[in-house]
């Protein structure tokens, strides 16, 4: 047991079945190699200061595998405990831990809560025609508004497109806050702020949301003007931080 304690616990995927893979005999013949390993039932874990036991999707306890002096953990159980997204692409035989390269999630496809009577999600043609360009859906904010997105640390960036429409004549501030239940007093601290001008057809903004579980986007005139006529456009998206197209 002393040797177990001296070895680092490696976070690797050791069991393809845990990621619901389906392997044919040809693949197995080329890529799978039998090993002589052991279940190590003597290892216990403390995750972020609390006792933790790895389990599968049905809550069944999973054991650590001990092989050649190292302990191996099931990748999915650990990633989910750390709130890191994990996905298995069976066709490509690739496990993605964290964001998939190039993947984008449209802003209105993310879990969303609107907390203001002046902020309305709309598909009406009168609202989705924004400065001469038609969109399928917009968030209409005529005075001020807050919208919350639950992102569970899945993304690094929010690329947000917004505009001010007629008769709006004031600049609009778009501010990012940490809305996690654990944010405490930090929930009132602006993490980033960008400005949308009524002189532009639309403005693209980039917010760093890496490591955040839940965010709040607050939209309001910097001078507290009552009517702003702002629109958040459905071309906005969350992604893993690649450079936004102009």
- Tens of pLDDT along the chain (246 residues) come to 444 444 444 444 444 344 444 445 656 667 788 889 898 888 888 888 888 888 888 888 888 898 898 988 888 888 877 777 778 888 888 888 776 777 789 999 999 999 878 899 999 999 999 999 999 999 999 999 999 999 988 889 999 999 999 999 999 999 999 999 989 999 999 999 999 999 999 999 999 999 899 999 999 999 888 899 999 999 999 998 765 444
3-class secondary structure per residue, 64-125: EEEECCEEECCHHHHHHHCCCCEEEECCCCEEEECCCCCCEEEHHHCCEEECCCCEEEECCH
Q: Residues 234, 152: one domain?
A: yes
Is residue 19 classed as helix, strand or coil in its secondary structure? Answer: helix
Last residue of a domain, one of 97, 120, 144: 97
Task: Please tell me whether residues 23 and 79 are part of one structural domain.
Answer: yes
Q: What is the pLDDT of residue 7?
A: 44
Tell me whether residue 246 is in a domain.
no
Q: Are both 52 and 138 inside the same structural domain?
A: no
Token reading at 58: 């049905």
Q: How far apart are alpha carbons 225 and 231 in whole angstroms?
A: 16
Q: Give me the half-sphere count of Cα atoms (radius 13 Å) on the Cβ side of residue 16.
A: 13
| Locus of tokens 């239940």 | 181
- What's the burial of 186, exposed, middle or buried (CB within 10 Å: 0-12/13-18/19+)? exposed
Q: What is the C-alpha separation between 241 and 136, in angstroms, rounded? A: 25
Supply 238's token pair.
């969350």
Q: Do 126 and 233 sit in the same domain of this protein? A: yes
Residue where one domain finishes, among candidates 55, 80, 97? 97
Count the domains in the chain.
2
Instruction: Examine the domain organization and report whether 91 and 114 are in the same domain.
Output: no
In the listed set 65, 97, 129, which residue is the last one of a domain according to the structure? 97
**Could you tell me if residue 244 is inside a domain?**
no
Cβ neighbors of 50 (< 8 A, separation 6 or more) are none
Decide if 71 is inside a domain. yes
Q: What are phi and psi of 16, to 5 degrees?
A: -65, -25
Whether residue 117 is contained in a domain is answered as yes
Tokens read off for 184: 């405490």
Give φ, ψ of 96 to 5 degrees. Answer: -100, 120
Same-domain check for residues 55 and 12:
yes
Structural domain range at position 12 = 2-97
Best CA proximity match to 99, nearest among 81, 79, 113: 79
- Prediction pTM value: 0.69
Phi, psi of 99 (to 5 degrees): -70, 145
């Amino acid at each position: 047991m002393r040797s177990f304690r001296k070895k680092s616990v490696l976070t690797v995927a050791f069991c393809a079945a845990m990621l619901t893979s389906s392997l044919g005999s040809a693949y197995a013949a080329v890529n799978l190699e039998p090993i002589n390993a052991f279940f190590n039932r003597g290892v216990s874990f403390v995750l972020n200061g609390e006792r933790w036991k790895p389990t599968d999707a049905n809550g069944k306890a999973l054991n650590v595998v001990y092989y050649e002096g190292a302990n191996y953990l099931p990748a999915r159980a650990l990633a989910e405990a750390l709130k890191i997204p994990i996905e298995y692409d069976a066709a490509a035989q690739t496990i993605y831990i964290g964001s998939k390269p190039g993947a984008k999630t449209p802003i209105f496809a993310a879990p969303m809560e609107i907390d203001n009577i002046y902020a309305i999600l709309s598909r009406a043609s009168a609202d989705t025609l924004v400065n001469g360009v038609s969109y399928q859906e917009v968030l209409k904010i005529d005075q001020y508004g807050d919208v919350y997105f639950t992102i569970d640390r899945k993304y690094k960036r929010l690329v947000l497109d917004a505009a001010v429409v007629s008769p709006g004549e004031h600049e609009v501030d778009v501010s990012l806050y940490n809305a996690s239940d654990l944010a405490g007093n930090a929930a009132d601290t602006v993490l980033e702020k960008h400005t949308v001008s009524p002189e532009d057809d639309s403005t693209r903004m980039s917010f760093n949301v890496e490591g955040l579980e839940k965010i709040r986007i607050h939209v309001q005139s910097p001078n507290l003007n009552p009517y702003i006529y702002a629109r958040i456009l459905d071309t906005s998206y969350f992604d893993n931080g690649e450079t936004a197209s102009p």
